[in-house]
Amino acid sequence: RTPHVFGLVPDPYGAGVGIERTNHLIHPPYLAGAGSLQPIEDLLRTARRMRPDLKSVGLVWNAAEANSLAQTRIARQVCSNLNLALIEANAENSAAVLESANAVIARGAEALWISGDVTVSLATDQVINAARRARIPVFSSLPGAVLKGALFDLGANYVDIGRHVGQIAAEVLDGKSPAAMPIDNVMTALFLYNETVLPTLRDRWEIPPDLRQSAAGQITATSTNLPQLSVPKKQARLQPQPGRTYRISLVYFAPESAGDSCRQGLLDGLRDLGFVEGKNLEVRRSHAQAEIANIPALLQNLDSSDVDVVVPMSTPVISGACSLIKRKP
């Protein structure tokens, strides 16, 4: 009875939840969303273009991740078609990634690929550091790795995918039935490169002119020109309503200097946001006189008062507030 909207799933058709791969309108009627399978074949062909003699690519991945398994299966087929050896190693957690990366390098990997594997992506720095020591490149399906030292990224524009999934959610909230919405693969691919990596490599890699021209962004020796890879977080700015007086209750265990400083800091912060005691803010202070037995009655009285919010301080008062205050935030 509750609609579900999903995103950031590379292969929803293989997830085992009843989404048909060939007819995208066949899926659970309460489910809507979008797949985001990375352009793995294009990525591997791009690597081959940068180094026509490339014979092997190393991949560290977590076999417990269904998304990673789907990508690895595609990569195996593509590598077979390109006569590339895909040298694989498993990492069950991010702590094991560095050891696995070193293992595939020792087995002859001439480059490392970071797929959309979540476990490995959390250790991107370790993969790049291992490759740097071996003087081989890293390429990634997760745009943004070029900032950490990858040679190139070819993968999803996740800001666009997030906006697309948000639009689906908005349509569902507006009353559109998920059953009538096809579950498609949505992929706006980004190609980014970092040419400062080239001089550090033991083998000859080149970025062909047409790839440079098609890039959405690049890092050179003199500049960094990359597209928006994330949405800046905006800090909410509270604004008091004109003409309203806000009432808060500061309740604590007993007067003491550290608590006094903390309460003053709270009031200073409220003043900076426009909530000024004596102007549009009424502050009521009360304490339990250092007696645990006084806390319940104190809090119950506040819960039935006209304050807008109760601010409990010190462990015994906070513990009591969690169980006794039912009406006030």
**54-92: string of b/e by CB count within 10 Å (b at 16+)?**
bebbbbbbbeebebbbbbbebbeebbeebebbbbbbebe
pLDDT value, residue 235: 62
pTM, two decimal places: 0.69
DSSP bridge pairs for 189: 156
- At residue 257, what is the residue type? S
pLDDT tens, per residue, the chain with 329 residues: 899 999 988 889 988 899 999 999 999 999 999 999 899 999 999 999 999 999 999 999 999 988 899 899 999 999 999 999 999 999 999 999 999 999 999 999 999 999 999 999 999 999 999 999 999 999 999 999 999 999 999 998 888 999 999 999 999 999 999 999 999 999 889 999 999 999 999 999 999 999 999 999 999 999 999 998 876 666 666 788 899 999 999 999 998 888 889 999 999 999 988 999 999 999 999 999 999 999 999 999 999 999 999 999 999 999 999 999 999 99
User: Could you give the CA distance from residue 94 to residue 146 in angstroms, rounded to a whole number?
Assistant: 20
For 203-268, the three-class secondary structure string (H helix, E strand, C coil) is: CCCCCCHHHHHHCCEEECCCCEECCCCCCCCCCCCCCCCCCCCEEEEEEECCCCHHHHHHHHHHHH
Question: Beta 246-252 vs 281-287: how paired, if at all?
Answer: parallel
